[in-house]
Each structure stands twice: as structure tokens, then as C-alpha cells.
Amino acid sequence: MFKPHISHKGTGIFFIFFLIILLWPLVSGASPELISDRDLDAADPIEFSSRIMEIDYGKAVLVVAEYTVLTVDLIIEDKQYTTRVTGPQGKVISFDSLHTGQKVLVRGLKLADGRVVASMVQQFGAGHPVQRLKRFVKPTPLNKSTD
């Protein structure tokens, strides 16, 4: 009777290769674009304006004022999160009409890791100045003198 010869070395290499493929998602980590409901619950509102520094059209991500700005259309636990991209007069435009160097106003939620989930990205018209970045500063109580 004919017995096929199976190399233990070849089987071992195949098994290791198979395990690497199976475990790769666990080793490589989560995608930086993943957003959970807990992330959004702990986020702070933010609004700022500046020029677009970078654009990733494939991922619909902007870099504005050194913030990574995520434009989204998500449903997380029955809540809708959608970014509205508008022109200077407030009419909805496509994300593809944005370009590097353009002035925009961004409103959204700042996540704990520094990313911003935008609820609105609005282009500035030619005559509109860029507003300074608004920083949220906790007010400090005034010291009262006891004269």
C-alpha cells in the first residue's frame, strides 16, 4: 500500500504560518479610527478654526490646527453621529471639495486621545478671517482682600 510522505518540518511551518494569520489582528492592535460609545460620552465639546494642514480623502480625515479631525457617519448604540461639511453660506458640500490650505471652522467632540469627532466642518469664504483657537480654561476664583 502507498503511504504519502508528510514532512514534519513542512507541517510545522504551515502551522506557524496559519497561527500568524489567525492571530495577526490581535497582535497588530485596533485601528486608530475606531470610536466607542464610551469615548464619545467622555468627550468634551470643542470649536476652533484654522487652515487645513493635511487631508486623507480615503479615510475622510483632516488635520486642522494640529488636531486629527474625523468626519463620521456612524450609529453607535442607537445614536447617530454625522459630520456635516458645508460651504461658507451653510449649504452642504462634499468632503472631496475640501483642500489643503483652506480655512475651516470645526465643531465637534474632543476625545481623550486628542482626536476630534467633527459634527460640522464649514469652509470660510474669501473675506472671512480665521478665528483664534478657542481654549477651554477653567476659571479660577478671585482672591478677596480683607482690608
Tell me phi and psi for residue 10, to 5 degrees.
Answer: -65, -40
For residue 58, what are the CA distances in angstroms to 48, 96, 143? 24, 10, 53
- Cα separation, 73 vs 68, in Å, equals 16
Going by pLDDT thresholds of 50, 70 and 90, the confidence category of residue 12 is low
CATH of the domain at 57: 2.40.50.320
Determine the 3-state secondary structure of 3 from DSSP.
coil
The Cα 141–Cα 27 span in angstroms is 49
Mean pLDDT along residues 130-136: 42
pLDDT of residue 138: 39
3 state DSSP class of 86: strand
Domain range for 57: 37-123
103 has a pLDDT exceeding 90: yes
Report pTM.
Answer: 0.63
Domains in the chain: how many in total? 1
In a domain, 71, yes or no: yes
For residue 58, is it within any domain?
yes
- Identify the residue whose cell numbers are 485596533: 30
Q: Which amino acid appears at position 74 of this protein?
A: L
Tens of pLDDT, residue by residue over 50-84, are 999 999 999 999 999 999 999 998 887 788 889 99
| 139 found inside a domain | no
Is a pLDDT exceeding 60 seen at residue 5?
no
pLDDT tens digit sequence for 19-42: 455 444 333 322 345 787 788 888
By C-alpha distance, which of 62, 65, 70, 71 is closest to 50? 65
State the Cα–Cα distance between residues 44 and 96, nearest whole angstrom. Answer: 27
Between the alpha carbon of residue 110 and those of residues 42, 78, 114, 135, 144, the distances in Å are: 9, 21, 6, 12, 35
Q: Please indicate, yes or no, if residue 87 is contained in any of the structural domains.
A: yes
